[in-house]
Amino acid sequence: MSIKLQGQLSCPISGIGLGFGFGSGGATVGASAYASFIQFTASGGLCFNIGDIFKTNNTPKNTLTN
């Protein structure tokens, strides 16, 4: 058995902008992106190993050594 925690951040890009500039001070280049909404999702729970639940071999182990 284990505990699972998961988080997800969704940020779909709505637009991308690129800019170029030339002047006496040199050249400039810029890029930007924007999103209209940001969504965060969190979930969690318990995880079980199905093999351990349906295990039928209940024979005790021999711990004596000769």
Query: pLDDT grade, residue 9 (50/70/90)?
Result: confident
* Rounded Cα–Cα distance for residues 54 and 56 (Å): 6
- How many domains, in total, are found in the chain? 1
Cβ 28 vs Cβ 20: under 8 Å: yes
**How far is the C-alpha of 39 from the C-alpha of 9, rounded, in Å?**
6
Please report whether residue 37 resides in a domain: yes
Structural domain that includes position 19:
2-53
d(CA 9, CA 61): 48
Q: Tens of pLDDT along 22-58?
A: 888 889 999 888 887 888 899 988 887 776 656 666 5
Asked, for residue 23, whether it belongs to a domain, the answer is yes
pTM of the model: 0.36
